[in-house]
Structure formats: C-alpha cells, structure tokens
Chains A and B, each alone.
Chain A
Amino acid sequence: MDYLLNVLFSIVFDGVAYGMILFIISVGLSITMGLMGFVNLAHGAFAMAGGYVAVTLMNQAGVPFALALIAAFLAVAAFSVAFERILYARLYGAGELDQVLLTIGLVFMSIAAATYIWGPSAQPITLPAVLTGRIDLGIREVPVYRLFMIVAGAVIMVALWLGFERTRFGAQIRAAVDNRRMTQSLGINVDRLFTVTFAVGSGLAAVGGGLGVEIWGLDPDYPIEHLIIFLIVVAVGGLGSIKGAFVAALLLGVIDNAGKYLLPEFGSFFIYVTMIAVLLLRPAGLFGRS
C-alpha cells in the first residue's frame, strides 16, 4: 500500500513538473494559433533558441540561472518579432499548407544554424546548487528542481491568467480570438496585438526551453524532436485557450509519465491515444470553440 502510494505520488509529481514545462512552451503557440490561425511548426525552434541562449550565457559568461532565463526571454522575444513581421505576416489568411511549409523550412534552417554554431552534441547545463538535491516537503522527499519547475509553471500560469483576464490588453486578445473582424471594426489594431502576443509567446517558449534543458537535454534536433508534443498540447487543449493549454499540458504530462513508468515498452503511445480520443470526441480540443 505504502509502495503504491509512493509510485502514484512520484508519477503525478514528476508528470506535473513535466507538464509545467510543456505548458510554458506551448501556451504561446496556442494563443498565436487561436489568434491568427497560423500553424507555426517552428515554435520549437524558439524554445531551442531560448535553451541555447541560457546555456551559453551560463557556461561562457557565468551568468546566474535566473538572469540567463530572463535574457533568453528578451532575446528570443525580440528576435521573433523580426520573424513575425518579415515572414509570418505575409501568410496570415493563406492556406495552412503554406504556413506548414514555411515553418518547416525555418525548422530545418534553425537545426542547421544550431549545429553550425554549437555543434551537434548535447549542451551541458550546471544548475545552481540551490536547485539541486532533494527537499523534504513533509509528506515526501522530492527533487528540488522538479519542485522549482512546478512553482515556476504555476507562477507563469497565474501571471498569464491575470494579464489575460484582468487587463485591457488581455480583453483585446480574448476579443480578437473570439471574433477577429469584429475586434478590428472596433478600431483595435489586431496586427500589433498579434505581434506583441507573438513576442510574449516566443519569449515564454524560450524560458520553457531553458527550464527544460535539465530534463530534455539540448541538441540541434530539438525543434523536430519535441514539435509533436507541443502541437498535441495545443490541439488537445484547444486553440487560443490558456486554460486549455494548462489542463492539456498537465494531463499529458501525467499520462506520459504514467505510461513510461508503468508500461515503458509502449513508449509515448498513450499520449497519442489520448490525443486521438480527445480530438474525436471534441475536434476543437477540450476548451476550444468550434
């Protein structure tokens, strides 16, 4: 009994920690897809870029972890605006095939660029001593870093929720996701709204990329390797829904972890089955509007 509880606890705890990283990376993708209907397969490249910026700053310049994550956010957010204005904006309203192809092209180029700059091997990361080891929560001992991931994810979730639900800017985004034309007719500059949202979403992906190096590692294949799971989170949660992305990320994190723990021979099978089941019952995702 005690053993069972232990297994259950670590499955849920590790799954939630993993799900938080998924949430931080995928939420931007969900919002931009919901807002502009843009299928951005290159979202993982922004997460990877964040990981590389953070790791390079820490390893080469000795920048502290927290500062490196903030720098990753700012650098990737700024960088993504250039991409959005120069490339993506031309394809709003184009068919999804064009968007898929353009962003696959960008993924390939990002893989080549990362290999060119950082080499093909995985990057090491040295976490600050505070975040290593284990901590006694009273009920169980847990790895500090996992706990840190959960806290970071929760903080970001709350911040996003407040920004989305309690500010004028958030209300404008919600309006634009619901009905873009109507929002434009009211004189809201949806293009600029989107650019800002895109930058924040990409920046968050960068933070998630930096936080996730510890569990996923970081090598140039990152944008393709993890693309599918990011897309699954978005599809299951429903486009344009922060709540959806959050619930889906945690759900998939726990299911994936449980599957790999209890039935490792099935690999990621359960994630795909979950996605298919959800999409067949609710084609627009758990919290999406069809």
Chain B
Amino acid sequence: MSAPTSSAAAVALLAGRHRWRPLEALPWILAVAAFFLFPEYRVLGSQVLIMIGFALSLDLILGYAGIVSLGHAAFFGTGAYTAGLLVNAGWTEPISGLVIAALTAAAIGLISGWVILRTHGLTLLMLTLATTVILQEIANEKDEFTGGSDGLLFTVDPLFGQFAFDLEGNVAYLYALAVVAILFYVTRRIVNSSFGFSLTGIRENTARMHTVGMPVHRRLVTVYVISAAMAGVAGALLSQTTEIAALNSLSFERSGAVLIMLVLGGAGRLYGAFVGAAVYMILEDRLATIDPVYWLFWIGLVLVLVVLFARRGLFGVLSDAVAKAGWRA
C-alpha cells in the first residue's frame, strides 16, 4: 500500500478501505471451482479451508495488533477437543458444537490473555508457548477423557440432520467453506472498523496509543479473545470433519505451522492467509508424500528466504507486481 500524499488522499483511502472490490470475489470463486474441478481432493481442500480460518484468526492478533504468539494452537486445540468432548457427553449437533467450542476457546483466551498481554517481547512469546504446552500436557494426561496420545474419536450428527460427513469430504468441504466465509466476513469487518484501526495503532506505536488515552490492554485482550474464538471454531471444524481430536492440534508444531502459513502469504493483509495456507498445505501434501524430511528442508529454506527477501509474503510480492503493472490490487 503506497503512503497517501495528502490528507485528502488519506481520507479517501480510509473511506474506501472497507468497500468490496471485484477482485475479492476471486478466492471464493476459486474455492467453489476447486470443489467441482478436483473432486478427489475435497478432503485436502476442506483442510486447506480450515487452516485458512485458523491463519485468519492469527492474522487478527499478529498482523493487525502485532502480538507475536508461538502458542496459537492452544485455542485451535481447545476447540478441537471441546467439539469431541461434547459429542462424548451426548451433545452431537455439529453447529452448536462449533459455537460452544468458540466460547470455550474464548474463555481460555480471556483468562490467559488477561494475564500474558501485560508482558511483551520474549516473555510474551514464552507465555503464549507455555499456554499451549500446558494444555497439551493436560490433554495427554487426562486420557480417560481425551484418549491421550491415541486422540479422541467421535462422530457428530449429520449437518442439519440431513448431510452426514462422508469419506470423500463433500459435506466437510462445503461446511468448512461456509464457516470460513463467515469467519472471513467477521475478520474483515473488524479490521476495517475503528476498533481495527486502533489495533493497528497499537502495533505501530503502543506508547502513543497510551498517550492518546486508549485502553491498550483492554483492546489487546478483546482482540485476543475474538481471535481465540475463531481459532477454536477452526479447530472444532477440523476435529468434526476428521472425526478425531488429536494431540497435535495443541502442539508447538501446529502453532509454528500456522505462523509460517500466515507469514508465507503475508501477515496483516487478510488475503495473505488464503495464499499462505493454500500454498503451504498443497506443497506439504505433494512433497511430504515423497519424503517428509525433504519437505521439512524446503519449507525451512523458504522461510529463511521469505524473511530475508520477501518480508511482505507471497501475497505482498504478488500485489507489488500487480501494482507495478499499473493495476489496483
């Protein structure tokens, strides 16, 4: 985004930011097209969509509010396990399951965020990390409820009482697509609201936001809770559609993966999550079948190169190229 040259241009930029542009339909057209064009990849496709939702939730706190978290899987995993535990307790309806998973993750987000968002830097990193490892430790130990390292197996009711989740991923794909579309809409509304702008302000200059009288801590906790709820929805989607809540949904690796997806695509720009999650998941699916170690090497190399040469992510590179060609991306 080029810097506005005058205050009039700045006003125009701010006023126009929330408007839908035709290009924004593209990812959704692609997502629907992929459903019909690659029917054999619907399971993978549903997981790509779910990770897009998860990456979007991270984008809210990382890309907009500037909170670097190494433990966002805490909320993803909380959602995943909540969905499973509900079913095993007799609550088998999937959509209300998503809502309850979101609320549970939000509660964890509120408790942990309230405390750890007072810190910053390495301390904050370590506390986000600790939240995840502790939850994972609990999930591992309380195996009479969670199945421990075997994971928690469960089956939700058919969607709307009609559409049972199938092995081809038909229902899963459309379900994930609809839910992620809602998550995206919410995220987009938030980042273009005055609340969203205040988050960007905190990211850019916390001290100044304090000075102008903004309740910085409360704003950060608020966005953290929203982000946690969204991550919980993504986690619940994954466990409902794959019929298992596994320990790796709470792992440090999962936190790292979503961070990588987001940065790969471009943090703080909404559609970065789409590009990053899709590229990462599809590459992983292709390369890991050849050799998982091979995959690890290349993703590592890509990360190093992105940090050194393409700080704004693939989407940033893309939109720079488009801007150079004289378009408005």
Residues of A in contact with B (beta carbons under 8 Å apart) = 33, 39, 87, 90-91, 95-98, 100-102, 104-113, 115-116, 120, 220, 224, 228, 231-232, 234-235, 239, 265-269, 272-273, 275-276, 279-280, 283-285
Choose among B121, B125, B137, B267 the residue that contacts A272 (Cβ–Cβ < 8 A). B137
Q: Give CA–CA (A273, B131) in the complex, Å.
A: 10
Q: Give the distance in Å from the alpha carbon of A284 to the alpha carbon of B300 in the complex.
A: 31
Does chain A have a CB within 8 A of B311?
Answer: yes
- Given contacts A39-B122, A100-B70, could you give 18 more A-B pairs where the C-beta distance is less than 8 Å? A91-B307, A96-B68, A100-B259, A102-B304, A102-B307, A102-B308, A104-B259, A104-B300, A105-B301, A108-B296, A108-B300, A109-B300, A110-B300, A113-B297, A266-B141, A275-B126, A275-B130, A284-B123
Contacts A239-B122, A267-B137, A275-B126; A101 near B259 (Cβ below 8 A): yes
B residues apposed to A, CB below 8 Å: 62, 68, 70, 115, 118-119, 121-123, 125-127, 129-130, 133-134, 137-138, 140-141, 252-253, 256, 259-260, 263, 267, 293-294, 296-297, 299-304, 306-308, 311
Complex contact A224–B68 (CB within 8 A): no
Which chain B residue lies CB-closest to A91? Answer: B307
CB of A111 within 8 A of CB of B307, answer no
User: 9 closest Cβ contacts across the A-B interface?
Assistant: A108-B300, A105-B303, A112-B297, A109-B300, A105-B304, A235-B126, A105-B300, A102-B307, A115-B293
Residue of A nearest to B257 (CB): A104
Closest B residue by C-beta to A111: B296
* 8 A-B contacts (beta carbon < 8 Å): A101-B259, A102-B303, A102-B308, A106-B304, A109-B304, A232-B130, A276-B127, A283-B123
Contacts A109-B297, A276-B130; A90 near B260 (Cβ below 8 A): no
> Across the interface, do A97 and B263 meet the contact criterion of CB distance under 8 Å?
yes
Query: A224 and B252: CB pair below 8 A?
Result: yes
Given the known inter-chain contacts A105-B304, A106-B300, A109-B297, please indicate yes or no for A98 contacting B311, CB distance below 8 A.
Answer: yes
Q: Determine whether the beta carbon of B307 is less than 8 Å from that of A105.
A: yes
Tell me if A33 and B141 are in contact (CB < 8 A).
Answer: no
Q: Once bound together, how far apart are the Cα atoms of A107 and B252, in whole Å? A: 13
Which residue from chain A places its CB closest to the CB of B301 in the assembled complex? A109
Task: List A contacts of B263 (CB < 8 A).
Answer: 97, 101
Chain A residues whose C-beta falls within 8 Å of the C-beta of B307 in the assembled complex: 91, 98, 101-102, 105
Known: A91-B307, A102-B304, A267-B140. A116 touches B123 (CB 8 A): no
Among A91, A110, A112, chain B packs the most CB atoms within 10 A around the CB of: A112
A279 contacts B127, C-beta separation under 8 Å: yes
| CB–CB A108/B303 < 8 A | yes
Contact in complex: A266, B137 (CB < 8 Å): yes
Q: B122 to A33, Cβ gap below 8 A?
A: yes
